Amino acid sequence: MFFDFLKGYDKMAKEKKVAVISAGVSRNDLHRFENQEELVAEAVKEALDDCPELSLEDIDTSVFSYFSDHFEGQLAMHWILNDYIGLTPRCTMRIENGGAGPGTAIRVGYSQIASGLSDVCIVPGVEKQGEVRPATANMFIAEAADTDFEVPVGGYYIAFYGAMATRHMYLYGTTEEDFATIAVKNRNNSLENPYAQWLRTYGKPIDVDDVLNSRMLAYPMKVLDCSLLSEGASCLVLASADVARKYTDEPVWITGVGTASDMMRPGDRIDNPNWSDKRFSYPEAKVPYPDYAKRPRAIYPEMSNFGAVREASRQAYRMAGIYEPYKEIDVVELHDAYDTSELQCYEDLGFCDVGHGKDLVRDGQVEIGGDIPVNPSGGLEGFGHPVGSTGIQQCATLFWQLREEIHEKFKSSKNQIDGARVALNHSHGGTGTAINVLIFER
């Protein structure tokens, strides 16, 4: 068992159960609206329209997620957004945690409900990256790296992730073709998703050769190994159990929440003493660490994996009472800012042992129709990556998956995972520096 420490635990008691009762998404694109207010309003309106018994007057808290103040040149944007959608004078706040921000905002919304501070809470996410040139957008994103020690020497995320992917290839035999297969899966899945940016921008399927022949950025990362710059918004509506039943007969429950962190620079993690602590360490017998590589203090996560993903997921699994994630989870929406990190996270989420993520790809287990389908929405590479919205839009599709509403939302049943009852979302910030994992159950 991947998470051996879970043996003997029952589901953790919670004072109040928390449900998702509705969701909305504003289609990802570039330059569709003039401002963020319109994006958020569209997502919130869809969530309200899909829950006819719910009105703005019933909402007592808003928790906004967005990544950067730079794109719009506006501080405290959530004040404007809360005002625009008509929620004053109720409680509002903004959560920023990099790419993990959307999942963290849902965690905060969950806490508002579970603690009894709120009965109904909306969690909108938004990002409008098209306000600036792509090079400028990438510079803004790079400022989430260490601006004293990393950015001055060319510290862009594509280089960091390229180095981590190269290390995984060196240690475990993963190939560029394995990564490319994930890019193909995600972009082609998005062709059935009317909210997806890839569908609108390119609108055609790709194959492995397309990925391998796309422009090299930072070995082994090529253009089609990477996610999209996007504009979009999304919204979840959360409610306590006693209130949820007033609005819907089909609530989806948040049963697991986990959040974790790691050192800023991947190279520092090789000798991070915290990963040798028995509370966080990975069983060495399960890591096929090669003899030709110099052994660090802890052979996991090394520079090839994301230890914070493992820690956040085991918190969520413990809370939800999940012991064998590969067998118990029916559908996954995972943060694939790069296809390389998606494969690495298969291992860190416990879907397989370290070094064997490539086997799930080669055997087709992460495809729609496989044992553990990942990113049927298209993920960040296909659906899009409006950072503050990304994890929330993925959770919206999981909500629709568990309620078997994909055919209504996508106008196609091809991406519906039949019989899905348990879903996982993973939000990922920095180089795995901040992680949030959520478990949803029908």
For residue range 99-132, what is the model confidence (pLDDT) as tens digits? 999 999 999 999 999 999 999 999 999 988 777 7
Place of tokens 């990942």: 374
Is 342 domain-assigned?
no
In this model, does residue 435 exceed pLDDT 70?
yes
Backbone angles phi, psi at 234, to 5 degrees: -155, 170
pTM of the model: 0.93
The burial class, CB within 10 Å (0-12 / 13-18 / 19+), for 107 is buried
β-pair partners for 256: 439
The whole-number pLDDT of residue 2 equals 53
pLDDT band at 137 (very low <50, low <70, confident <90, very high): confident
Is 182 domain-assigned?
no
- 142/407: higher pLDDT: 407
Nearest 10 degrees: CA dihedral of 55, 57, 58, 62? Answer: 100
Query: Is 350 within 8 Å of 166 (Cβ atoms)?
Result: no
> Which residues, including other chains, have CB under 8 Å from residue 188's CB and lie 6 or more apart?
205, 206, 382
Domain containing 42 equals 18-132+230-247
**CA distances, 327 to each of 97, 283, 342, 408 (Å):** 30, 20, 19, 28
Q: What is the CA radius of gyration of the chain?
A: 20
Query: Is 105 within 8 Å of 62 (Cβ atoms)?
Result: no
Q: What is the mean pLDDT of residues 44-55?
A: 96
pLDDT band at 12 (very low <50, low <70, confident <90, very high): very low
pLDDT band at 4 (very low <50, low <70, confident <90, very high): low
Is 112 domain-assigned?
yes
- 260/79: higher pLDDT: 260
β-pair partners for 234: 25, 125
User: Of the given ranges (52-61, 203-212, 221-230, 290-299), which has the lowest mean pLDDT?
Assistant: 290-299
CA distance 341 to 351: 14
Backbone angles phi, psi at 97, to 5 degrees: -150, 45
The whole-number pLDDT of residue 326 equals 97
Place of tokens 């993903």: 309
Query: Is 46 within 8 Å of 25 (Cβ atoms)?
Result: yes
Is 213 domain-assigned?
no
Query: Is 379 within 8 Å of 186 (Cβ atoms)?
Result: yes
Is 346 domain-assigned?
no
β-pair partners for 233: 26, 126
The whole-number pLDDT of residue 72 equals 76
In this model, does residue 409 exceed pLDDT 70?
yes
The whole-number pLDDT of residue 167 equals 97
CA distance 185 to 206: 9
Q: Which helix (H) or strand (E) holds 389?
A: helix 387-402
Q: For a pLDDT cut of 90, what percent of the chain falls above it?
A: 74
What CATH number did the domain enclosing 51 receive?
3.40.47.10
Query: Is 339 within 8 Å of 158 (Cβ atoms)?
Result: no
Q: Which helix (H) or strand (E) holds 171?
A: helix 157-172
CA angle 230, 330, 124 (to 5 degrees): 35
CA distance 187 to 199: 8
**CA distances, 261 to each of 211, 224, 280, 296, 300 (Å):** 31, 28, 12, 20, 15
Is 311 domain-assigned?
no
Place of tokens 């906004």: 64
Question: Structurally, how many domains does the chain consist of?
Answer: 1
Using N-to-C axis directions, what is the helix angle for 339-348 and 307-320, rounded to 10°?
A: 50
In this model, does residue 65 exceed pLDDT 80?
yes
Model pLDDT for residues 236-274, shown as the tens digit of each residue: 999 999 999 999 999 999 999 999 999 988 888 888 888
> Which residues, including other chains, have CB under 8 Å from residue 199's CB and lie 6 or more apart?
190, 191, 193, 378, 382
Cis peptide before 220 (omega within 30 of 0): yes
Percent helix, strand and coil across the chain, each rounded to 5?
A: 40, 20, 40
In this model, does residue 343 exceed pLDDT 60?
yes
Model pLDDT for residues 197-212, shown as the tens digit of each residue: 999 888 899 999 999 9
Q: Which helix (H) or strand (E) holds 434?
A: strand 434-441
The whole-number pLDDT of residue 168 equals 98
In 3-state terms, what secondary structure has residue 206?
coil
Is 22 domain-assigned?
yes
Q: For a pLDDT cut of 70, what percent of the chain falls above it?
A: 97
Is 175 domain-assigned?
no
Cis peptide before 373 (omega within 30 of 0): no
Q: What is the mean pLDDT of residues 2-21?
A: 63
The whole-number pLDDT of residue 358 equals 99
Average pLDDT value over all residues in the chain: 92
> Which residues, including other chains, have CB under 8 Å from residue 303's CB and lie 6 or more apart?
163, 164, 167, 266, 267, 269, 270
